Chain A
Amino acid sequence: SQQGEEDPQALSIQEGENATMNCSYKTSINNLQWYRQNSGRGLVHLILIRSNEREKHSGRLRVTLDTSKKSSSLLITASRAADTASYFCATGEEYSTLTFGKGTMLLVSP
């Protein structure tokens, strides 16, 4: 299965701390995407990193991709209570559809 696996399944931190989530996958990919989902809502796209990229930034988000280890990490710096959500990685082989992992539930306490 191409499905990514996020780690940890759940993460609880204090406001201001950094949060790191990891994603591992099994086969070669075209790109890897990270999405956020607030409770009971749809998913929101955060970052897309292509297979020939190693690192990408967007605001307080930093994504790395290591294709040799088939893994990616999402770092949220200076977390806020509003960052509380589930975070999913999604991978896809070329000319295929995306497959989502089970997600990491992040709880940021004030």
Chain B
Amino acid sequence: DAMVIQNPRYQVTQFGKPVTLSCSQTLNHNVMYWYQQKSSQAPKLLFHYYDKDFNNEADTPDNFQSRRPNTSFCFLDIRSPGLGDAAMYLCATSRDSRGQGLVGYEQYFGPGTRLTVT
């Protein structure tokens, strides 16, 4: 079945120790998103890729970086995790139509990676 896969499902890292979360998709969607979701809060968009075009949200901290080496894979790098970065990180994909823009289609989410910072 076509899907969005995130690895690992649970990640524990130490304060200040770089960590990378991965996302892969078999849907062949051209848009990939990374969201941060803290407990009982809305998912917050960090950035998205439109094909290879990287789009950063204005309030995303510089501590967060992303890479998309090909259509199927996207990585979230947290260079120096702080205690406030502990959260669920969600990857999502969508199609896009020039006529509809990014909001024109539903997003498909992975199961998320729960990040703990000790």
Contact = CB atoms under 8 A, between A and B. Distances in A.
Given A94-B103, A95-B102, A44 B109 contact: yes
B34 to A, nearest CB: 12
Interface string A86-110: 0010011111111111110100000
Interface in B21-38: 33
Nearest to A6: B42
A96 B110 CA distance: 21
Given A40-B114, A42-B90, A42-B112, A98 B107 contact: yes
A5 B111 CA distance: 24
Interface residues of A, number: 28
A77 interface: no
A19 to B, nearest CB: 19
Contacts of B51: none
Contacts of A101: 42
Given A41-B111, A42-B4, A105-B40, 13 more contacts: A30-B103, A40-B88, A40-B112, A42-B109, A43-B43, A43-B107, A48-B106, A94-B101, A97-B102, A97-B103, A98-B103, A98-B107, A101-B42
Interface of A: 3, 29-31, 33, 35, 40-45, 48, 88, 91-103, 105
